[in-house]
Amino acid sequence: MADTDNQQGKRFPLFPKLIATSFGFGFLPVAPGTWGAVFAVLIWLPLYMLASPGAILAGTAAGALFFAVAGTWASSVAERYWGKDPVIACVDETVGQLIAMLPLYCVPGEYWWEILISLALFRFFDIFKPLGIRSLEKLPGGYGMMADDVLAAIYSCVILLVLNHFIL
C-alpha cells in the first residue's frame, strides 16, 4: 500500500497508521483481519493470566472502548489514504476480538480453549457476515468499518455465554 493519498501526495501520519493497522499487525501477510484479532489475544493474555476476574472484565472493556474510539478515527483516516475499508486497517478486528473475549473474565485459566473458540467464532461472523452484520458496513468511514465487527463480536459473546452456561 502506498503511503500517499490523492490529495496533494501527503504522507499517511504515523500515529493513525499504527492504530489503524493494530500496531503493524495489518501489514503481516495473508489474512490481516485474523492478525488483528490475534493482536487482541496477545495483548489480552497477560491480563487473563495475572488479574482477578473483575480486573479482567474492566481491562478488557476499557481496551475495547479505547481501541473502538481510536480505531474508528484512525480507520476514517486510513480510508482517505488507502480507499474504502482497506484490509490492512485491522483495528476493527482487534476491537471485535476484545469484545468477543468479554465473557471469558469468569472462565478459569484451565479453560484456555475458550480463547480459541472466541477467536474462531468472531472470525466466522466477521468473515461470513450473517444476520445483518454486512448491512453495518454501509455506515460512513470508520463507523462502518467498526460497526460490523462489533456486531460480529456480540454474536460471538452470546454463543460463548450459552456455551459457558451449559459446559461450565
In a domain, 1, yes or no: no
In a domain, 43, yes or no: yes
pLDDT at 8: 53
In a domain, 6, yes or no: no
pLDDT tens, per residue, the chain with 168 residues = 545 444 457 899 999 999 999 999 999 999 999 999 999 999 999 999 999 999 999 999 999 999 999 999 999 999 999 999 999 999 999 999 999 999 999 887 778 899 999 999 999 999 999 999 999 999 999 999 999 999 999 999 999 999 988 886
- Residue range of the domain that includes 120: 14-167
In a domain, 151, yes or no: yes
Counting the structural domains of the chain, the total is 1
Distance CA 6, CA 82 (A): 10
In a domain, 109, yes or no: yes
The grid coordinates listed for 123 are 472470525
Question: Quick one: how far is CA 5 from the chain centroid?
Answer: 25
Phi-psi region of 28 (alpha: psi -120 to 50; beta: other; left: phi over 0): beta
Distances (CA, A) of 156 to 49, 50, 90, 107, 162: 22, 24, 18, 15, 10
Distance CA 11, CA 34 (A): 27
Task: Please calculate the CA angle 29-71-88 and round it to the nearest 5 degrees.
Answer: 15
In a domain, 4, yes or no: no
**Entry pTM:** 0.93
In a domain, 7, yes or no: no
In a domain, 2, yes or no: no
